Amino acid sequence: VDYAGQLVRALKTAGIQAWGWGYVYGANPQGEAAAAVRAVVELDLDGFVVDAESEWKKPGMGKKAAQYMTLLRKGVGPDLPVGLSSYRWPSYHREFPFSEFLEECDFAMPQVYWLQAHNPTAQLERCLREYAALEVKKPIFPTGACYREHSWQPTAGEIAEFLHACKSLGLQGCNFWEWANA
């Protein structure tokens, strides 16, 4: 059963955009890009978010990131919004190919998860400073923490604080991972 197609059609019928999200590993940039393009085209998606994390921190992954992003952008076209979901603090992940990914993206969605802490505003502010210092500057739509892990979970007040911080810092929007635990 094609649940994805059914969901996309239902969302679009209700006037809601349907976006794709894909975690990429980098072992096969051509295949991963082709799979993403196929999903975008077959489902008629309104945008796509690339989730790239630890697998891309190995030596030589910058070239593979550029290859993946070039093929993705070529396949989905210049008008489809594409974003990068990855680390909140580039300074902790200097080996990650931020520039290669962001070059073909329209925006960044750093994962501002204040896991084991309770300071969403401070972490968001640091994230914005570090992304502003990157070679490729893009609009930021941060992803806040809305999940449980071990004995930690954000409080309702922290989620409200994160939303208020996004607004007061002039961001155009934000999102959360993961609503199933909200």
- Maximum CA extent, the chain: 46
Question: Is the pTM above the cut of 0.75?
Answer: yes
- pLDDT tens, position by position, 96-144: 999 999 999 999 999 999 998 999 999 999 999 999 999 889 999 999 9
- pLDDT tens, position by position, 56-78: 999 999 999 999 999 999 999 99
Which residue pairs from 129-138 have beta carbons closer than 8 angstroms and sit at least 24 positions apart in sequence? 130/88, 130/89, 130/90, 130/91, 131/90, 133/90, 134/90, 134/98, 134/99, 134/102, 135/98, 135/99, 136/98, 136/99, 136/102, 136/103, 138/84, 138/102, 138/105, 138/106, 138/107, 138/108
CA distance linking residue 140 with residue 130, whole number of Å: 11
